[in-house]
Amino acid sequence: MKPWWPSTIVKPSVRLSRPRFKMPTRPPDVVVFGLVMIAVLFILGGNIYTLVKTPPAIAGGAGGQPILIAPSIDFQLGMEGIVASVTIMMGALGLGLVYYSSKYVFQPGYATRLMTLGMILAGVAFLIITYMFGIKTGQF
């Protein structure tokens, strides 16, 4: 049977298939670890307290000079939480480097450099947190 339209028009032979919906792939482990690490540092730095209490960003002293660390345990400024979070991250990175250096047993020079850098980072982070706590308690 001949079609009723002209022979110059060709009927396409196209098969349309249903679209298949797949579950999204899992994000990379590095991205998940980074997000969890940022959330933990945000909480450990006391930033939840800062968001709830809404203190002023920078407090002023008697002569008008800015105070970046409030000298009281009952009060925390915004910059204090950020500095504490960065310091905790620096200490965690240092401890991670000490752990990572154990993979280079057969390269003792590289392992020693990694371990030394890790101990320096962890030690400086400890000293900064101790100094900040000393300012808050009035010992410095």
d(CA 87, CA 133): 13
pLDDT of residue 100 exceeding 80, the answer is yes
d(CA 83, CA 94): 16
Side-chain-facing half-sphere of 13: CA atoms under 13 Å:
0
pLDDT of residue 26 exceeding 80, the answer is yes
pLDDT of 3: 66
pLDDT of residue 120 exceeding 80, the answer is yes
Candidates 87, 85, 9; CA nearest to 40 is 85
List, for residues 63-98, the tens digit of each pLDDT value: 777 777 877 887 788 788 888 889 999 999 999 999
d(CA 70, CA 64): 14
Maximum Cα interatomic distance, the chain, rounded to a whole number of Å = 102
pLDDT of residue 54 exceeding 70, the answer is no
Strand partners, 60: 66
Residue 100 Cα distances to 51, 57, 103, 107, 110, angstroms = 35, 38, 6, 13, 11
Tokens of 8: 């110059």
